[in-house]
Amino acid sequence: MTVELRTQRLCWQAAAAHIVRDVSLYVAPGEFVGLLGPNGSGKSTLLRMIYRVLRPASGQVSVEGRDVWQSGARDNARAMAVLAQENGSEFEMRVRDVVLMGRTPHQSPFARDSEQDLHLVDQALRRMNAQALAERLFSTLSGGEKQRVLMARALAQQAPLLVLDEPTNHLDVRHQFELLNLIRGLGLTTLAALHELPLAAHYCDRLYLLKEGALVARGTPAQVLTPDTIAEVYGVRALVQPSPRTGKPLIEFLPDELL
Ligand SMILES: Nc1ncnc2c1ncn2[C@@H]1O[C@H](COP(=O)(O)OP(=O)(O)OP(=O)(O)O)[C@@H](O)[C@H]1O
């Protein structure tokens, strides 16, 4: 099953500051959409309203037409798996039990973990190449290992929608590719905040670009990742040309020519 995600005119403010302004976006069933923007542009705040941690000042979030803020936490957890930025590094739990938390929305209260739950946990750990960590204490893992385990927890949840806040954070280059290949291969509806423009260009079907809380560009990677837009939003000069191999935008940053 795949689902669609829609936000309509989402706003959030802190004191008098408008942190997210009027953001309407759409992720089609099975689409992998990237959310880009500089530090502090509002990506995490927007995602937190989508995954129902931060109540919007105004606007709506709906999954398959159902308003997430009108639905229960359990229904939402079945529909949406989340990789948040605050990564729960305080967990004093075995890795296997952290991943098992992903099964909670499917379990009835006080029920024991089923064979199916344990099987899905093993499968998710294998997919994230983290089986060897299963018996370790989560708090003792490296940053990248934690990230892979939390991604395994999101996979074990078997939700049709993934909302990911910087999923490649802490990952080395090979693990970044493995994770993004995996996400693309799952074919789930996915919205991911990303910092690495070259990765977004290669992996995402479409992109939304935030600046100071508002959307300033949307479209395919080739439409969004132009030298002018990168200069305007990030203050960095870049050369962009289609890859001879994939046709997707190849970005060469010019780090000595900051604007
Ligand atoms: N509770 C709050 N009170 C005041 N300001 C806040 C609050 N939460 C977020 N902000 C501010 O809102 C802005 C957007 O923050 P947010 O974390 O959404 O940005 P981001 O695009 O995810 O940034 P980064 O790329 O650095 O992770 C920042 O300037 C942040 O300091």
Q: Which residue ranges have their beta carbon within 6 Å of ligand 1?
A: 14, 19, 37, 39-45
> Which residues are bridge partners to 232 per DSSP?
none
Q: Are 21 and 12 in contact (CB under 8 A)?
A: no
Q: What is the arithmetic mean of pLDDT over 116-140?
A: 94
Residue 29: exposed, middle, or buried by beta-carbon count in 10 A (0-12, 13-18, 19+)? middle
Q: Percent of the chain beyond pLDDT 90?
A: 83
Q: What's the one-letter identity of residue 234?
A: Y
Atom of ligand 1 nearest to the CA of 195: 25
Q: Which three-class secondary structure state does DSSP give residue 93? A: coil
Q: Examine the pLDDT at 87 and tell me if it is beyond 70.
A: no
Q: Indicate which residue's Cα is closest to atom 17 of ligand 1.
A: 44
Confidence at residue 89, expressed as pLDDT on a 0 to 100 scale = 59
Confidence at residue 210, expressed as pLDDT on a 0 to 100 scale = 98
75-106 as b/e, with b when 16 or more CB fall inside 10 Å?
ebbbbbbbbbeebeeebeeebbebbbbbbebb
Q: What's the one-letter identity of residue 155?
A: L
Q: What's the one-letter identity of residue 166?
A: E
CA of 39 to the centre of ligand 1 (A): 8
Which of 21, 35, 44 is the best mutation target for the ligand 1 pocket, counting ligand atoms within 8 Å of the beta carbon and taking the most?
44
Confidence at residue 88, expressed as pLDDT on a 0 to 100 scale = 60
Which fold would CATH assign to domain 5-89+158-258? Rossmann fold (3.40.50)
Q: Indicate which residue's Cα is closest to atom 1 of ligand 1.
A: 14
Q: State the pLDDT confidence band at 203, using cuts at 50, 70 and 90.
A: very high
CA of 219 to the centre of ligand 1 (A): 24
Residue 246: partners with Cβ closer than 8 Å, 6 or more residues away: 202
Q: Within the chain, what is the greatest distance between any pair of CA atoms?
A: 60
Q: State the pLDDT confidence band at 108, using cuts at 50, 70 and 90.
A: confident
Q: State the pLDDT confidence band at 12, using cuts at 50, 70 and 90.
A: very high
Q: State the pLDDT confidence band at 250, using cuts at 50, 70 and 90.
A: very high
Rg (C-alpha) for the chain, rounded Å, is 19
Q: Examine the pLDDT at 85 and tell me if it is beyond 70.
A: yes
Q: Indicate which residue's Cα is closest to atom 3 of ligand 1.
A: 14
Predicted confidence (pLDDT) per residue in 225-242, tens digit: 999 999 999 999 999 999
Q: State the pLDDT confidence band at 136, using cuts at 50, 70 and 90.
A: very high
